[in-house]
Every structure is written in C-alpha cells, then in structure tokens.
Amino acid sequence: MLALFLRDLKLAIRTSGGFGLALAFFLIVVMFVPFGVGSDLTLLARIAPGILWIGALLACLLSLDRIFQLDAEDGTLNVLATSPIPLSGVTVAKSMAHWVTTGLPLTIAAIPLGYLLNLPSVAYSWLCISLLIGTPALSFIGAFGAAITVGIKRGGLLLSLLVLPLYIPTLIFGAVTVTKAVEGLDPMPSLMFLAGLTLLSVVIMPFASALALKSNLS
C-alpha cells in the first residue's frame, strides 16, 4: 500500500499538469471574486471564508478524474485488482495520495489567498485547521465519484454532478467553522462535525469505491 501511495505521489508530481493546476485554478477562482462583486474590503472580508472553501472544493474537484482514469486506461487497475491488497486498500492509498497532492497544498495556499480577500486575522488558524481536517473528506468522497465514473468516456461533467452534492455537508461545516471564527463565536462545534464527517468518509468511502471499481472492472 505504501509503495502504491508513493508511486501515485511521484506520478502526480512528475507528470506535467496535475499538481500545480489545482493551485492555479484556486488562485484564479479567488481572483475572480473581487472582479465579480467589487473590491470593497469589508464585503470581501465577510464572504472570504465561503469563497476560500468553495474555491478549494472546486480545485479539488478538477483533479479527481486522474485518480483512477489513467490507471484504468493502461490496465494498471486490473493488475491492482488482482494484487494481494484489497481494492478498498488501493482506494485508501490513492485517496491519500490525492489528498497530499491536492488538499494539503490547497490548505497552505489558502493563507496568502485569505490575505488577498482581507480575511480577518483571527480566522487564519481556523481556516487552516478546517481545511486540514476537511479536505481528506473531499479526497475520499471524490475517489468514490472517480471510481463510479471510471468506465465512462468523458465522464468529467457527470463526475462533478455526482460528487458536488456529496460535498454539501463538508462545505457547510467547513465554511461555518471559519465564519464563526470571523464573527467571534465558538467555531468548535462545527469543527467537530467536520472532523466526524471526515472520519465517516474515511471509513465508508473506500468500501463503496471498491464496490464500484469491482463492478466497473468485471
């Protein structure tokens, strides 16, 4: 499993245009917001938590189809399916690799982007913690969507239609955590819900993804 995790990491970093694209997309989404709503700093400060969470979520969505698509095309996935690791283990390794190459950089990139949006200084630590805790859920749920659509040619649009509704609870709890921090209220309850959601996704999603992969491979 570790070997598979490291292999996916290397592939993501060395092949062009997987790793940096999500970050660039995140930057562009955040940059577009002032163009859309105006550069009023107080308004930006108020909507910054939501924008940063939505931006991170969309950027995460972009790289989802890479989790299984390339391996399915060249047959690696068939080999992995016959390997001693169960398919759910394969999914865990791949989801973790996706998180390290997407969720983690997005969390770090959110800090300077938060500054661009005039996010109040009290909220930075909560923004980071909430993204750090919440983005694994995005990767694990996303891997499930990728597993379902792996057999469909040009399934990118369908993938977003399937995955985005599943992201709703994560987005709500994540954004509410930061908003509460901005308003000076206690962000702990929603952060706890977010953590619970991530744990739930980590527990059930690999099995669901394995089931979907099995059905797609047969």
Partner 1 sequence: MSLWEYANPVKFMGLSSRLIPTLSVLTVLCLVIGILWGFFGTPDDYKQGSTVKIIFLHVPSALMAINAWLMMLVASLVWLIRRHHVSALAAKAAAPIGITMTLIALGTGAIWGKPMWGTYWAWDPRLTSFMILFVFYLGYMALWSAIEDSDTAADLTSILCMIGSVFALLSRYAVNFWNQGLHQGASLSLDKEQHVDDTYFYPLILCMAGFILLFVLLVLVRTRTEIRLRRATALAARNR
Which of 1, 162, 195, 202 is close enough to bind partner 1 by CB under 8 A? 162
Report the C-alpha gap between 103 and 22 in whole angstroms.
9
> Token pair of 6, please?
């490291």
Closest separation between CB of residue 182 and partner 1, Å? 15
CA 1 vs CA 5, 90, 91, 94, 185: distances in Å? 6, 7, 10, 9, 42
> Token pair of 187, please?
């962000």
Nearer to partner 1, 97 or 208 (CB): 208
Closest separation between CB of residue 88 and partner 1, Å? 13
The one-character DSSP state at 102 is I
Check binding of 186 to partner 1 (CB under 8 A). no
Report the C-alpha gap between 124 and 120 in whole angstroms.
7
Residue tagged 């996935």 (tokens) = 77
Q: What is the greatest pairwise CA distance in the chain?
A: 57
Closest separation between CB of residue 208 and partner 1, Å? 5
Check binding of 215 to partner 1 (CB under 8 A). yes
Cα 160–chain centre separation: 12
Which of 9, 166, 195, 202 is close enough to bind partner 1 by CB under 8 A? 166
Nearer to partner 1, 124 or 193 (CB): 193
Which residues within the stretch 95-154 sit at the binding site for partner 1 (CB under 8 A)?
A: 141, 144, 148-149, 151-152
Summarize as ranges the residues that interact with partner 1 (CB under 8 A): 141, 144, 148-149, 151-152, 155, 158, 161-162, 164-166, 168-169, 172-173, 176, 190, 193, 197, 200, 204-205, 208, 211-212, 215-216, 218
